[in-house]
Structure 1
């Protein structure tokens, strides 16, 4: 099992899973390149997306989660192409149920459910030069993880030095509410699947090699993914 392609920065943990920055904190979009609200008052009941999801259902799926340790606001789904909304789809695979398959070419993550079905999530993936492929497994799971920029990132972006000892978990942390840390042969690859609260990045290549899902999707996947779950990243 070997990862192929250019690795993201080595060194410290988690240069790999950016998410949005709020006022008064370091610009999170810079970490994406270098490293919410609801639907308002629109009358959406009965409106259907091209993929068949009623928009009112999408608003509920990506609604606020006030009971979280750090209350999560609703995702502004107007910034997400409806084809990236969470869906159960037909997906033929030889992989066992519970396997996570990342398709960076099409910006999707699949959780194999068996009987030719999978749960499909829209994703952001690595930008040019940071794409990779191969098999890994979930070696660690984190809720509201601490993020520590690698030394290589700090050299490129000196403003990240203020977090050299780690940024505590929270809404402004690049790793977001949930993180699956990917391992291979007992070693942390430095890649993660993480929670992004930046909806306009879904369907784009913007990270340093990690894979981001909308926060509500990541919480959904995290709850269904045990340690040691297999992860397959397809070639881009």
Structure 2
């Protein structure tokens, strides 16, 4: 799978944030609790005992005019919702784009990848000659984590994705170059629930939308 320049930039930022190109190490050992296995890949599992409960995956009451199966992202409050039946949704905590890198709009998930490979572009490698040519999927140093779901608009790749992360502490913050980060466990869960063609809407803030916008009440 080829990666867009924006995804390369995002990957590079995460790579630096994890201390792999001279940046500060953001992912402490305490962020992880043992290992898990997914599709033959052993990876560090998130230490959810240290995660605020509001960022953990949960079913909530959710009122929306969007069809069942739609993914809605509230970037300001750092939540991703997968709309379910009976006015409910699965809510995931997410990390979103930093100021100047946020993207809002409607799209569809037109491609998905398990344990995506990360390949830094030539221009990034020129600035950071210590970068490897690529990092295979499943490596603990791969900034894209366990899954990548690619957002397209009108058949064109937007350059934005939903994907896992190697920095669990970035969930609930504005940390990326525009893509939506998830705990690896949540990226795996969302991947399984969203077939190709799933509709997605990224909102600047639910409260700023029109009267038919989703309203949320946690169970």
Q: Would you say same fold, with TM above 0.5?
A: yes
Query: 1:155-234 maps to which residues of 2 (within 5 A)?
Result: 157-159=127-129, 161-163=131-133, 166-170=134-138, 171-234=140-203
Shift of 1:30: 8.4
CA contact (8 A) 2:18 2:25 kept: no
Over 3 Å counting, the alpha-carbon distance change for 1:67 and 1:126 in structure 2 is closer
Q: What's the counterpart of residue 11 of structure 1?
A: 5
Over 3 Å counting, the alpha-carbon distance change for 1:117 and 1:20 in structure 2 is farther
Give every structure 1 segment of 4 or more consecutive aligned residues whose post-TM-superposition deviation is greater than 6 Å.
20-24, 28-31
Shift of 1:14: 3.9
More strand by share: 2
Over 3 Å counting, the alpha-carbon distance change for 1:19 and 1:220 in structure 2 is farther
CA contact (8 A) 1:97 1:112 kept: yes
Over 3 Å counting, the alpha-carbon distance change for 1:224 and 1:27 in structure 2 is farther
TM-score (norm 1): 0.72
Q: Within 1, Cα distance between the matches of 2:24 and 2:192?
A: 27
TM-score (norm 2): 0.78
Q: How many residues are treated as equivalent by the alignment?
A: 197
Shift of 1:149: 3.1
Q: What's the counterpart of residue 214 of structure 2?
A: none
Q: Within 2, Cα distance between the matches of 1:15 and 1:22?
A: 12
Gaps of 5+ in 2: 206-219
Q: What's the counterpart of residue 141 of structure 1?
A: 112
- Deviating more after overlay: 99-108 vs 77-86: 77-86
Over 3 Å counting, the alpha-carbon distance change for 1:168 and 1:74 in structure 2 is closer
